[in-house]
Amino acid sequence: MATSDTIAAIATPNGSGGVGVIRVSGPACKSIAQSICKVLQSAAPASSCTGQLTALPQRSATLTDFLGSPAEVIDTGIVLFFSTPNSYTGEDVLELQAHGGRVVMDMLLQRVLSLGARMARPGEFTERAYLNGKLDLSQAEAVSDLINSGSAAAARAAVKSLQGEFSQRVHALTEELTNLRIYMEAALDFPEEEIDFLASEEMHQRATSLRRNFAKLLETTRQGQLLRDGLTVVIAGKPNAGKSSLLNRLTGEATAIVTDIKGTTRDLLRERIQLDGLPVQLIDTAGLRASQDPVEQEGIRRAILAIREADRVLWIEDINQFDIEDDTARIPSGLLAGIESQVSEVFRLCDLLINESASMVESRAPDKERMGEAKAETLVVDLVLNKTDLGSHDAGLFSLDERLPLDTGGFLRFERCIKLSAITGEGIGLLQTHLKQQAGYDDASEDVFIARRRHIVALESAAKSLEQGFSQLENQYSPELAAEDFRLAQQALGEITGEVSSDDLLGLIFAGFCIGK
Amino acid sequence: MNYPDKFDVIVVGGGHAGTEAALAAARVGANTLLLSHNIETLGQMSCNPAIGGIGKGHLVKEIDALGGVMGRAADAAGIHIRTLNARKGAAVRATRAQADRALYKAFVRRALESQPQLTLFQQAVADLTIEGEQVTGVTTETGISFSAATVVLTAGTFLAGKIHVGQANTSAGRAGDPSSTQLAERLREMPFRVERLKTGTPPRIDGRSIDYSNLESQPGDEPRPVFSFLGTRDDHPRQVCCHITHTNEHTHDIIRNALDRSPLFSGEIEGIGPRYCPSIEDKVVRFADRTSHQIFIEPEGLDTPEIYPNGISTSLPFDVQLNYVRSITGFEKAHITRPGYAIEYDFFDPRDLHASLETKAIRGLYFAGQINGTTGYEEAAAQGLIAGLNAARQTKDREPWSPRRDEAYIGVLIDDLITRGTNEPYRMFTSRAEYRLLLREDNADMRLTPHGRELGLVNDVRWQAFETKQLAASTLESALQDYWVKPGDELFAKLTADNGLALNRQRRFSELLKMPEVKLARLLELAENEVSADKQDYSNLSGFSEAVIEQVEIRAKYAGYLGRQQEDIDRSRRQQEINLPESFDYSRVIGLSNEVRQKLLDTRPDNIGQAARIPGMTPAAISLLLVHLKQRNQLAAPAIDEAATAS
Ligand SMILES: Cc1cc2nc3c(=O)[nH]c(=O)nc-3n(C[C@H](O)[C@H](O)[C@H](O)COP(=O)(O)OP(=O)(O)OC[C@H]3O[C@@H](n4cnc5c(N)ncnc54)[C@H](O)[C@@H]3O)c2cc1C
Ligand SMILES: Nc1nc2c(ncn2[C@@H]2O[C@H](COP(=O)(O)OP(=O)(O)OP(=O)(O)O)[C@@H](O)[C@H]2O)c(=O)[nH]1
Ligand SMILES: [Mg+2]
């Protein structure tokens, strides 16, 4: 089954060190390669009309500069081309391997997208391979599972990406755009009404405000703030476990105050670090314990909310508090269960806090819903056993893979246990490698980073349509063309906030205006 | 008795759906019988005698492009014709005509009576004959049985129709006509999902009792627009003027004080009415801050004094109607000739239909018009044409045909109905069409007449007219490519003066046309009799008809947008058309959520495109369907091969 669109994704397998791969599949591969790969451009004689691609050998690696524009080199790497049907998907496939970290890969992906590809959905390469008869029939189930788990992961990542201010702003914009479209569509479909929707002052105010707000949001995304967040990792645990010391170790600076007094940290401390170009946001929190001190109480409240929104949690314990034999991977029974009950308590408190604040501020109800959704989710925790230097412990890392049900619903999943010393730095490398893997991504499981990229692609495409729509409105008074641009803008935003159908629009028109004879 | 002759197609109902269905079936060569309550009411307009309007005018042109009768009837009967949205772009411009009720009906009747292969018969149908899962004919209320390979049902608002005027209600199909009770009961026993809808109509007024002296008048357009691609202005009868008046605070008070006697608010009426066509009581309640609502005073015909006050449909008791009508400027002494009323009726969930409008449950049975949850003559006629065509094709073992969403509003209409269903009377709007810029009134013939010709719906006269227009348009387009205007030409100076254009270098005519300021008709006018400096004369540019000039101009001005819409269409086309077999077992698709599965079961889409358009469907769900389908087809393929070799 031939598809006519071209898909692209960052296809670097988890944990692969410095090399990233962008995979592209579909009919536009050749022209994309042509525009991106410097070797192909210099090799092409200007006169030949079909000859350029003969320079791109099939199935063999060619070293090239990757171009962001004719003048700008994004990175240097290897290009591979597989032509239909002899490729993984059965379509033309292009692979760009670059050395840069995640940010560079993202630039490369953007470039590919700007050349006519769209972002692949999770599992879509494999889906195409299957539909094109490249995989065996018996694999249908596996392919379905991949599509399914991939889209579930993408949905979760999308929810995470949309937390906080970004989400509020995108939703507000969608609403503004919808309101503007109501005026446009009402003007086109109900010209006999007594109001001239297009000339109405209100519509022009709306248009101006939408334009301004959109520009502001885009400015923010262009500065890369949204992408910089990356994976959010919260460091939590009891007081004095060494949370702040770990933060300092990972950032390489004495950012947080460290003392041997329990309850040193009060406020949330956010630090951004890069692990091989992968952005990670670390949050140091107040140690969790019952406290009478109102300042510490507030700190703990903030810690609780942070844990709830984390992509993952590093739970720190002092290894010397437990009877742990050094040469085995065994964790004393009771330790995990103990953490589980503390996390359950955190969640319970958190729900209380959210309900409280929601009942105080009605308008934040959507956020509450979103947090409610997150509730059924699994909280992923790595156990960090700190202060190995104090006993006769060696640093190490092993899998836990333990799922414990939380009292409050959902699951707590322990993934890894890492033994390290925040003070000497022993074992830190293991932790870093592990985090990097977690911040990495593959074709099938979406992470927040990819979700953000999707959102930004959608925003940018919406912005482009909007600008065209506004200039239609201004220059020519062709409202039906402006309406088409606004429809496309809404379609693009719909990827983030859900579809607004023509029926929804009509419903809003009838609800808002007295229309009809 | 059993009627001795056997038919290919029986059409039940002679409204707008029924008449187009019967004509289409007969046009493509099926031996067709049209059964209706009353031959005198064939082509009757139940409500306001107006044809067209935004979205609806588009449908009329499409029906016309496929050889239907509606456009020609509207030309023959139009007594007040306008182009709505005239100052906006081509895609949203729409033709609307106030029609003389009698002239319209007469035109349709003549068309029916002169159509070869079509038989008319006056009888109410009481039952459908069904053998197994196949329809075989109908039986009338007096016991006559007709047999046919296919049946098209177009019973309009008549199925279990119930009229409300205040607290009083009676059984009726519309004022003055009986409802179809027996048939409605029988249909409720069949495997269709049945629901109730409602619609309403205003009181009619004797125009001689209206004082027009203080009312704003609204003349039709000059030059008058024409509906049919074969029509001319000479087809139009004498033209009249419409007027506009308004309700006032006093009117609203009268209505507010009588709400307790409104069946709409007392809960008497259960069916859902059209939101865009609210009754006056609805408007007064929902938009309480409005102190006045506009009313269009539209004549019902040339030979009748009755007028239709558009904007005050109601189901309030008659004494209230009289009171509020007389509170309106110009209506102080109004005489009401017929009370307004609301009507409730049965309709069938259109998700039980294929795109051909054949029911999924009973082979050979087609539904069209108001019974599918739509409202409006044009919506009904459009469905009728498609249902009649496909019923006829089925008798000849031909594949059904229905236009796609990117080909016609008819496609949008049918696709919306069968994929989304409806819970209010569905009316067409241009905003429903994602390919609005492509689906224009002006190019309805280009979109559909070639299809119609292939299907046998379009006769030689229409085809020749179409080909002539096509040829002229492409001749003009290539001429515009060939000609240049250069600095130093007299035309160059004229153009600069005329449009204030800064033409700093030589240009092709086709380039000029892309500029928003340049109007093709004016350009051609200026070029006439001109000769350029290098001796090219522009004589090849003259003699083109208005329609051709308009066509070429629109294509040029919309070019960028149309190109993008076309790309969009091409991209998804292949995938959309992959069929989902009727036997497709959704419970076996791995990974579908229960919610999505239920939606698919409720709609049972015929292909992937329809599945994708079900509200709430996700891309992942569509991927899962495709993967399952691939597996299924591969497993099934050997079996098909065997069957092929065995035969
Ligand atoms: C009161 C009222 C108000 C309306 N208001 C509006 C409005 O505001 N705006 C709007 O757009 N549209 C309105 N309409 C709708 C418009 O009239 C219809 O949409 C259109 O006429 C539907 O066409 P149809 O062919 O489906 O059915 P109809 O035009 O209703 O035709 C049905 C035909 O079937 C025949 N029939 C029914 N049952 C049988 C049977 N058992 N045997 C034989 N013949 C049968 C009838 O005699 C009739 O000829 C209104 C209709 C009514 C009745
Ligand atoms: N020897 C040793 N001491 C450590 C290590 N990590 C932390 N400490 C000490 O433990 C004490 C508490 O460290 P912090 O980092 O402030 O602990 P915290 O978890 O942030 O404590 P609160 O902010 O109070 O919740 C300090 O005295 C640190 O020097 C370690 O790996 N080895
Ligand atoms: Mg601390």
Question: Is pLDDT of B368 > 50?
Answer: yes
Q: Which of A327-331, B91-95, B519-523 has the highest mean pLDDT?
A: B91-95
Binned at pLDDT 50, 70 and 90, residue A448 comes out as low
Q: What pLDDT was estimated at residue A229?
A: 52
Mean pLDDT of B188-196: 96
**Nearest chain A residue (CA) to B631:** A137
Mean pLDDT of B456-461: 97
Binned at pLDDT 50, 70 and 90, residue A102 comes out as low
Mean pLDDT of B510-525: 87
C-alpha dist (Å) from residue A73 to A20, A42, A227, B297: 16, 14, 21, 70
Residues in chain B closer than 8 A to A185 (CB atoms): 431
Q: What pLDDT was estimated at residue A42?
A: 61
> How many whole angstroms from A333 Cα to the centroid of ligand 2?
25
Residue holding tokens 């596996």? A142
C-alpha to C-alpha distance for A82 and A58, rounded to whole angstroms: 6
Higher pLDDT, A449 or A374: A449
DSSP string, A134-188: -S-GGGHHHHHHHHHHHHHHHHHHHHHHT-THHHHHHHHHHHHHHHHHHHHHHHH
Higher pLDDT, B503 or A337: A337
Higher pLDDT, B236 or A199: B236
Q: What pLDDT was estimated at residue A222?
A: 62
Question: Is pLDDT of A120 > 50?
Answer: yes
End-to-end CA distance of chain A: 49
Residue B566 forms contact with A (CB below 8 Å): no
Ligand nearest to the CA of A238: 2
Mean pLDDT of chain B: 92
Least confident range of A150-154, A354-358, B4-8, B157-161: A354-358
Q: What pLDDT was estimated at residue A442?
A: 35
Q: What pLDDT was estimated at residue A155?
A: 72
DSSP run (H or E) holding B273: none
B59, B413 in Cβ contact below 8 A?
A: yes
pLDDT in tens, A175-194: 999 999 999 999 999 988 87
Of B54, B439, B564, B561, the C-alpha closest to A482 is: B561
Q: Smallest Cβ distance to B628: which of A140, A145, A193?
A: A140
Two tokens at B496?
A: 């600069």
**Nearest chain A residue (CA) to B417:** A503
State the burial class of residue B72 (Cβ atoms within 10 Å of its Cβ: 0-12, 13-18, 19+).
buried
Decide whether any atom of ligand 2 lies within 6 Å of the A262 Cβ: yes
Least confident range of A150-159, B259-268, B561-570, B612-621: A150-159
Question: Is pLDDT of B194 > 90?
Answer: yes
Residues in chain A closer than 8 A to B628 (CB atoms): 140, 144
C-alpha to C-alpha distance for B136 and B252, rounded to whole angstroms: 54
**Nearest chain B residue (CA) to A143:** B627
pLDDT in tens, B556-592: 989 989 999 998 898 888 888 899 998 899 998 988 8
Q: What pLDDT was estimated at residue A371?
A: 35
Question: Is pLDDT of B369 > 70?
Answer: yes
Residues in chain B closer than 8 A to A507 (CB atoms): 275
The number of the ligand 1 atom at minimal distance from the alpha carbon of B163 is: 1
Question: Is pLDDT of B111 > 90?
Answer: yes
Pairing of strands B294-299, B242-246: antiparallel
Decide whether any atom of ligand 2 lies within 6 Å of the A246 Cβ: no
Q: What pLDDT was estimated at residue A121?
A: 87
Question: Is pLDDT of A224 > 70?
Answer: no
Mean pLDDT of B268-282: 87
Decide whether any atom of ligand 1 lies within 6 Å of the B41 Cβ: yes
Question: Is pLDDT of B502 > 50?
Answer: yes
What percent of chain B is modeled with pLDDT above 90? 77
Q: Between chains, do B620 and A148 touch, taking CB under 8 Å as contact?
A: yes
Decide whether any atom of ligand 2 lies within 6 Å of the A243 Cβ: yes
Q: Between chains, do A503 and B420 touch, taking CB under 8 Å as contact?
A: yes
Question: Is pLDDT of B63 > 90?
Answer: yes
C-alpha dist (Å) from residue B306 to A44, A273, B73, B130, B310: 78, 81, 21, 45, 13
Question: Is pLDDT of A369 > 60?
Answer: no
Binned at pLDDT 50, 70 and 90, residue A511 comes out as confident
Pairing of strands A20-25, A6-10: antiparallel
C-alpha to C-alpha distance for A385 and A417, rounded to whole angstroms: 7
Decide whether any atom of ligand 1 lies within 6 Å of the B279 Cβ: no
Mean pLDDT of chain A: 80
State how far residue A497 is from chain B, nearest Cα, in angstroms. 13
Question: Is pLDDT of A261 > 90?
Answer: yes
Q: What pLDDT was estimated at residue A416?
A: 87
Residue nearest to atom 29 of ligand 1 (CA): B15
> How many whole angstroms from B370 Cα to the centroid of ligand 1?
6
Residues in chain B closer than 8 A to A512 (CB atoms): none
State how far residue B568 is from chain A, nearest Cα, in angstroms. 10
Task: Identify the three-state secondary structure at position B227.
Answer: coil
State the burial class of residue B538 (Cβ atoms within 10 Å of its Cβ: 0-12, 13-18, 19+).
buried
Binned at pLDDT 50, 70 and 90, residue B252 comes out as very high
Mean pLDDT of A325-349: 75
Higher pLDDT, B7 or B264: B7
Decide whether any atom of ligand 2 lies within 6 Å of the A384 Cβ: no
State the burial class of residue B479 (Cβ atoms within 10 Å of its Cβ: 0-12, 13-18, 19+).
middle
State how far residue B346 is from chain A, nearest Cα, in angstroms. 23
Question: Is pLDDT of B40 > 60?
Answer: yes
**Could you tell me which residues come within 8 angstroms of residue B137 by beta carbon, excluding any fewer than 6 positions away?**
B10, B128, B129, B145, B146, B147, B148, B151
B285, B300 in Cβ contact below 8 A?
A: no
Q: What pLDDT was estimated at residue B415?
A: 98
Residues in chain B closer than 8 A to A483 (CB atoms): 436
C-alpha to C-alpha distance for A84 and A72, rounded to whole angstroms: 30
**Nearest chain A residue (CA) to B577:** A1
Binned at pLDDT 50, 70 and 90, residue A260 comes out as very high
Question: Is pLDDT of A55 > 70?
Answer: no
Q: What pLDDT was estimated at residue A232?
A: 80
Q: What pLDDT was estimated at residue A276?
A: 63
Higher pLDDT, A499 or A163: A499
Question: Is pLDDT of A56 > 80?
Answer: no
C-alpha to C-alpha distance for B224 and B214, rounded to whole angstroms: 26
Question: Is pLDDT of B606 > 90?
Answer: yes
A293, A263 in Cβ contact below 8 A?
A: yes
Residues in chain A closer than 8 A to B436 (CB atoms): 480, 483-484
Binned at pLDDT 50, 70 and 90, residue A360 comes out as very low
State how far residue A477 is from chain B, nearest Cα, in angstroms. 8
Two tokens at A51?
A: 């000859």
Q: Between chains, do A151 and B620 touch, taking CB under 8 Å as contact?
A: yes
Q: Between chains, do A4 and B571 touch, taking CB under 8 Å as contact?
A: yes
Question: Is pLDDT of A4 > 50?
Answer: yes
DSSP run (H or E) holding A72: strand A72-82
3-state helix, strand, coil in chain A (%, to 5): 50, 20, 30
Residue of A480, A486, A515 to mutate, interface with B, max B Cβ within 10 Å: A480
Q: What pLDDT was estimated at residue B452?
A: 98
**Could you tell me which residues come within 8 angstroms of residue B312 by beta carbon, excluding any fewer than 6 positions away?**
B202, B203, B247, B280, B293, B295, B324, B325, B340
What percent of chain B is modeled with pLDDT above 70? 98
Of A470, A514, A466, the C-alpha closest to A487 is: A466
Question: Is pLDDT of A452 > 80?
Answer: no
Chain B, residues 176-215, CB within 8 A of chain A, namely: none
Q: What pLDDT was estimated at residue A457?
A: 86
DSSP run (H or E) holding B389: helix B377-395
Higher pLDDT, B136 or A475: B136
Ligand 1 test: best mutation among B12, B38, B46, most atoms within 8 Å of CB?
A: B46
Residue holding tokens 């059904």? B400
Q: What pLDDT was estimated at residue A17?
A: 52
DSSP string, A186-213: HHHH-TTSSS-TTT-HHHHHHHHHHHHH
Q: Smallest Cβ distance to B84: which of A145, A191, A194?
A: A191
Q: What pLDDT was estimated at residue B635?
A: 67
C-alpha to C-alpha distance for A458 and A166, rounded to whole angstroms: 14
Least confident range of A94-98, A338-342, B302-306, B634-638: B634-638
Of A185, A204, A200, A208, the C-alpha closest to A501 is: A185
Higher pLDDT, A244 or A103: A244
Q: What pLDDT was estimated at residue A372?
A: 35
Residue B275 forms contact with A (CB below 8 Å): yes
Least confident range of A6-15, B129-138, B474-483, B535-544: A6-15
DSSP string, B402-448: ---TTT-HHHHHHHHHHHH--SS-B---GGG-TTTTTS-STTHHHHH
Q: Smallest Cβ distance to A121: which of B420, B516, B620?
A: B620
Q: Smallest Cβ distance to A121: which of B283, B558, B619?
A: B619
Residue nearest to atom 12 of ligand 2 (CA): A240
Q: Smallest Cβ distance to A127: which of B290, B516, B623?
A: B623
Decide whether any atom of ligand 2 lies within 6 Å of the A390 Cβ: yes
**Could you tell me which residues come within 8 angstroms of residue A125 by beta carbon, excluding any fewer than 6 positions away?**
A7, A9, A11, A23, A25, A88, A89, A443
State how far residue B622 is from chain A, nearest Cα, in angstroms. 10
Decide whether any atom of ligand 1 lies within 6 Å of the B14 Cβ: yes
Q: Which of A427-436, B390-399, B595-604 has the highest mean pLDDT?
A: B390-399
Mean pLDDT of A50-62: 66
Q: Smallest Cβ distance to A131: which of B54, B276, B626?
A: B626
Q: At what angle do helices A335-360 and A365-375 cross, to 10 degrees?
A: 160
Mean pLDDT of A98-116: 83
DSSP conformational letter for B393: H
